[in-house]
Every structure is written in structure tokens, then in C-alpha cells.
Amino acid sequence: MLVEDPDKRPKIYDEERPSDSEVLKETEEVFSKHAQDIHDAVFEVIKRLDSRNNIQRSETSASNRRPPHQAPEQSMSIVEVDKPSPMAPHPPTQDASHSSAKHMTDEEKEKFVDDNRADLIQEVTLVVKIAEDLKDMVNPETYDKIAAKETSQDQMRLLYRSVLDSVGKKVKAAFYDALKRNHYHLVKKHGGF
């Protein structure tokens, strides 16, 4: 039953209701205190989902995989559909929202990829997506071998051995950019930008 008399309604606020800007400011402060924990929690969930989906990935035949330079097919595998990029709900605006970040040279990107190799091998889960983003830098045969690996760690090891270590600075810089788009939280965690 609605109470029509304002004096009989329960008071939610002791004072005047806060403005939207005050609520937004307080929410942003709370979020900033817990942002890394949120990114870490999302990463852990994605990691668990990835380990469950590895069985499905390994069952996908090579004939159903598309090399990075071919157009997408009408249907997508469950792995592609169920694994959105973490903390990147609006990929086109993500780079724009971080435009104040420093611009890294190709040499700095290469150093980041080299210096964080062990951690990236353990933590990157969207390896096939990143290989697709590298387009012509990953040949179709190598792409198929990466996609056939059962774990993301094995996929990353192969990506490093077959592509990143053999081609050099240009591909490492492109890998860094793809990593930033697909695993923003990892780049931030390891001091990139």
C-alpha cells in the first residue's frame, strides 16, 4: 500500500538527496579503490572458462578454423562467442579513452613483450584472437598450429617461438597493440602504456 502522506513515508536520507554528480563521484572513488581487484577477478573467471573450453577447442577440426586473413564465416564456434575481451565492453572507444596515456615506441613495446614473456605466457588467454589480430604476420599454417594447442600457455609458447622471436620488433609492437586491445588489464598490470 502506498503512503500518500509525505510525513508518514520513511525517510531514506537524513538530509537532502545527493545529486547525481555526488553519487557518480563517490562511485568512481569506490571503483578506483577496487579496480585492480575487479580486473583480477574477471581474469580468474576467464582463465577458468578458458580451461573448460580447451576441450572444445581441441575438438574443433582444422577444417573449421579460419586463418586470420580470411573473412569470418556465418557461424562462430562457442569458444569465440563465449569469450569476450575482458573489461573491454566497447573496444572502439577503449583506445580513445586512454589517449592521455604516453605513446610507446616500437622499441618500448618490444622490450615490454620480451621482459614480460613468462608472465604473458601464463596469463594471456585470448591467444587465437590475438593471432587473428596480427593478420599477415602469422601465416595460416602457424595459425592452425596455435589454434590446435590445448592450453593458452602452449598457444602463447608457440606464438613466441614461431612468430614473436623470429620476426622481431615490428611484430612485437603489433602483438603489444593487440594485447592492449584484448587484455588491457594485463598490459596495465605489467606497467605498459
Digits of tens for pLDDT over the chain (193 positions)? 455 566 665 556 566 777 888 888 888 777 777 777 776 777 777 777 766 665 444 444 444 455 555 544 444 443 443 444 444 433 333 443 344 456 889 999 999 999 999 999 999 999 999 999 998 899 999 999 999 999 999 999 999 999 988 877 899 999 999 999 999 999 999 988 7
Using an 8 Å Cβ cutoff, are 182 and 85 in contact?
yes
In the chain, the largest separation of any two C-alpha atoms, in whole Å, equals 76
Question: Which phi-psi region, left, alpha or beta, contains residue 7 (left: φ > 0; alpha: ψ -120 to 50)?
Answer: alpha
* pLDDT score for 53: 60
* pLDDT score for 29: 79
Long-range contacts of 20-23 (CB under 8 A, 24+ apart): none
Q: Which of 95, 66, 72, 84 is nearest to 126 (CA)?
A: 84
45's grid cell: 573467471
* pLDDT score for 42: 74
118's grid cell: 613468462
Q: Which of 79, 112, 114, 78 is nearest to 180 (CA)?
A: 112
* pLDDT score for 75: 41
**Residue ranges per structural domain of the chain:** 20-61+103-193
Environment class of 125 (CB within 10 Å of its CB; exposed 0-12, middle 13-18, buried 19+): buried
Q: For the domain 20-61+103-193, what is the CATH superfamily, name and number?
A: Death Domain, Fas (1.10.533.10)
CA atoms within 13 A on the CB side of 165: 9
Rounded Cα distance between 86 and 183, Å, is: 6
